Amino acid sequence: MGKIAWGITGAGHFLKESLALIETRGDVDVFISPAGMEVIRIYSLTPPAGAVCDKSASTASCRAFAAGAYDAFVVSPATSNSVAKFVYGISDSMASTLFAQCGKSRVPIIVLPSDVEEMLDTMGATKPLKVYPRPVDLENVEKLKQFPGVTVATSPEALKAALAALQKK
């Protein structure tokens, strides 16, 4: 597999694991939403070197996807807001616009939503938390699983397995 584009949205759940996975790869360009950058700071983490934080919805980065510069787009972690935008075709942020462009360009997409179970134990910025995703958030994850060209991972381990499966193609 060649180059991967990796989107980070404003979710804290799976953020640390996502950043650690990015660090193990040399073939990644990182695109961080403004909310993602905010959460990275709140968690006292460091964004990957060279990461792009594009505040526009009509991101210039789309050109690279249409031109075939990337072999896959990963969104990890993906907020419930981003997942809802993906499902309903709303392209008003960098992550949702890149998701749409990948679909139009038939670039494989892997998404690790932050809301994947009815109850989540997660580490907040300063202490452990219990999070209870809304039924609509879980329904949107299920809808996203039906999209052609999209793989939904439900854990960092499943994300690693999805990346490995793409490498074998």
Q: Is the pLDDT of residue 36 over 80?
A: yes
All structural domains of the chain: 4-168 (3.40.50.1950)
Q: Is the pLDDT of residue 40 over 70?
A: yes
Q: Is the pLDDT of residue 123 over 90?
A: no
The CA-based angle 97-9-29, given to 5 degrees, is 75
Q: What pLDDT does residue 50 have?
A: 86
pTM above 0.85, yes or no: yes
* Confidence label for 60 from pLDDT (cuts 50, 70 and 90): low
DSSP SS3 for 14: coil
* Confidence label for 121 from pLDDT (cuts 50, 70 and 90): confident
- Cα 115 from Cα 134, distance rounded (Å): 9
